[in-house]
A and B are shown apart, each in its own frame.
Chain A
Amino acid sequence: MDAQDTFDLTTGRGLMACPRCDAMHVEAELNSGETLRCIRCGGVLAKPRGGAFSQLIALAFTSMVLMMGAIFFPFLEISRMGIGNATSLFGVAMAFADGVLLPLVLAVMAMIVGLPVLRSFLLVYTLTPLAQGRAPYRHAATAFRWSEELRPWSMAEIFVIGTAVALVKVAGLATVHLGPAFWAFCALILVNLASRGFMCQTTIWDAIEDGSLPTDGREMAGGVARGE
C-alpha cells in the first residue's frame, strides 16, 4: 500500500479522528482554500486559508483595542426630567454588586470583557511565532486549548443583542443615547466573525506540533478513513 509509511495503526501517528463521530482519517496535505469534511458526519475537519495566522493576529489585536474603548467610554446614557445617568461596561457589571449577587458581577464581567480579551491574548501568544515560521513559545498548546475551550463562554455578541432588548424596555421610561462604547462593541462582533472565518484549529494544532516548519496556509491533516 502506498500509504504504508505515512501512518501507523498501533501508535496513531499520521492519523486524525473526527471529534464528532470518531471516524479516522489519514493526514494529508491540503491546499489553501480547500475544505476537508469528515467522510462520516460531514463536519468540517480542516479549512486552511493562506496567511490566516497573520490575519488572526491582526484581528486579535483589533479586538483588544476595541475592547479597551468599550470598557472606558460611556456605554449608554439616559435622562428623564433633568436627571441623567451614564454607564460604562463596569457600571453594567457592578449593577449586581450588592450582596448575594456579587458572584454574578464577576461572571458577567468575565463573559463580556475578561474572556474575549484573554482569548485574544492567548491567540496572539500562540500564533505570533508560528506566523513567523519559528518554534512556538512554551505552553503554546495549553494556551490555544484554553482559547478554544473558553470560546462558548465569551458572550460579547449576546451582550449586544441584550443591549437592544434593554433599549426597547427603557424607551418608555426615559430618553436613551448610545455611547461610543456601544459602537465599539458592535465593531467587535464583526471582528469576531471575520476571525472565525480564518480560524482552522487543525492547521494551528499541526503548526504547533510541527514546531518551526512553515505550515501557514498549508495543511497537514486530511484524508480518508481506511481499513487495515
Chain B
Amino acid sequence: MGARWPAGSRAVSDDAPGAPVLTAHRAGLVGCRSCGRVWPDGQETCNRCGADLVPPDRRGLQKVWAWWFAGLIMYVPANLFPMMRTQTFAGLQGNTEATILQGVVELIHYGNYDIAIIVFVASIIVPIAKFLSIAWLAVVAGQPATVDQAHTRLKIYEVVEFIGRWSMIDVFVVAILSALVQLGFVASIHPGPAAVSFALSVAFTMLSAQSFDPRLIWRGLPLRSRTDDKGQE
C-alpha cells in the first residue's frame, strides 16, 4: 500500500464498496488494546507496549459485573450517611449533617440554583445513569446489532468513560471545605463517612467501565451491512 491517506479518509482506492471489514479476531490475530499492534492469536503480552493481550470475549464481562456490583454496594451508604458535618458556634447555632441529597436541597434553599444543578448532576444523575448504561452495555454486548446500533452503543460507552470521573466533584468539595472551614469556635466542617463510600463507588464504576471491552459491541454485527465499509474480497 504505502499510500498517504488524506485527513479523515475512510475510502481507499482499490476496494469494492460493501466488502466486509476484516477484524484482527477474524483473521486469527489479536490486537493490543493499549497500542494497537497486532499479534498472532494466543500470544499473551504485547511485545511493543507490554500490555496483556485479551481477545474480544464475553468472559471479560465478568470483571465488568464484579466492579459494577462493588460500585453499587458502595453507592448505598454513600447516599444514606452524611457527606459532611457543619458546626457553627461550637454547635450552639447549629450542628448539621448533610447527605448528598440534603446538600443539594440546601443549595437550592440558599438560591444557588446553578451550583445545585452541577452537584445534582455530578453526584446523583451521573452515577445512576452510569450504573444503568454499563449494565445495559454489558447485557447487549456481543448480541447481533445493526451498524447504527453499534455506533450508538460505542457513543454511550465513550460518554460513560468520559463522564465517570466527574462524579468525584463532590468528594473534592468535601475535602476543600473541611480543610478550609476550620475556624475553631466560629465554624468548622468535618467530612462524613459517605465521602469515602462515594469516592469508592465512583472509583469502582470507573474500573467497571474500563474493564468493558468496546470491541464486543461489534462482535455481533452482520458482516455486509454498510456501504462505506471498505475491504477486499
Contact = CB atoms under 8 A, between A and B. Distances in A.
Given A18-B36, A22-B31, A107-B199, A226 B22 contact: yes
| Secondary structure type dominating chain A contacts | mixed
A28 B179 contact: no
A148 B19 contact: no
A19 B181 contact: no
Contact of B176 (A3, A92, A103, A223): A92
B10 A37 contact: yes
Contacts of A176: 180
Interface stretch (B49-57, B63-71, B127-135): B49-57
Interface stretch (A50-58, A116-124, A165-173): A165-173
A166 B170 CA distance: 9
B210 interface: yes
Contacts of A21: 23, 150, 154, 214-215, 217-218
A161 B118 contact: yes
Interface stretch (A5-13, A63-71, A186-194): A5-13
Contacts of B36: 16-19, 45, 202, 205, 221
B90 interface: no
A223 B170 CA distance: 44
Interface residues of A, number: 92
B92 to A, nearest CB: 14
Given A152-B165, A224-B15, A162 B172 contact: yes
A87 B183 CA distance: 12
Contact of A24 (B27, B174, B184, B196): B27
A168 B118 CA distance: 12
B36 to A, nearest CB: 5
A34 B23 contact: no
Interface string B34-74: 11111110000000111100001000000000000000000
Contacts of B179: 87, 91-95
Contacts of A9: 27, 29
Contacts of A213: none
A224 B228 CA distance: 12
Contact of A80 (B150, B176, B186): B186
A78 interface: yes
B158 to A, nearest CB: 8
B171 interface: yes
Given A19-B214, A205-B36, 8 more contacts: A16-B36, A37-B9, A40-B229, A93-B179, A95-B176, A208-B49, A223-B5, A227-B19
